[in-house]
Chains A and B, each alone.
Chain A
């Protein structure tokens, strides 16, 4: 059974700090990795995707992938209260449309 694990949180960080969200996965055949943000009662929004080991940066967001250790993380720099949401990690095997989602980590950024 393919599993994607996330700490449910909540992760509480002060405004302006770096928030670090982590995700581990069990399927070594995974090739595509995604981070979504979901505000309470709203639909998910794709933040980033990453395929290769290393870091990928987009604005205040950095995704980090380590396939050998089977984890992917999301760093949010200069966290803002508007970043308070649940962050979903999703993992997809190579050549497959079917992702496995983690249950999400709740992030709270307090002023």
Chain B
């Protein structure tokens, strides 16, 4: 099916471990985004990408790394997970600049113990 998929959907990891969250879209949208959602903070942008090999920091990039070697994939890596990175992570995509993230993935619930 066309759309945005995220994997894994649920992940429990230990403090200090490296973990990668995967995001794949089937539309070849140019723009892709990673958000985290926490109670009391709402959605916050971590990183975004305007095209393959073009990425930039969002509001809360510290502790995260992204890459985008192919248009359809936008993985997010937590280099050394901390408890404060326990959150729900959403990947999103859009075709047009500045018109909002029209398509969101189902989310990954990450728990860091």
Contact = CB atoms under 8 A, between A and B. Distances in A.
Interface of A: 4, 32, 34, 36, 42-46, 49, 88, 90, 92, 97-104
A100 B58 CA distance: 10
Q: For chain B, give the interface size range.
A: 20 to 34
A80 B39 CA distance: 26
A43 B90 contact: yes
Contacts of A44: 43, 90, 101, 104
Given A43-B90, A88-B42, A97-B98, 5 more contacts: A88-B43, A97-B33, A97-B97, A98-B58, A103-B41
A104 B107 contact: no
Contacts of A46: 100-102
Interface in B14-57: 31, 33, 40-45, 48, 50, 56
B49 to A, nearest CB: 10
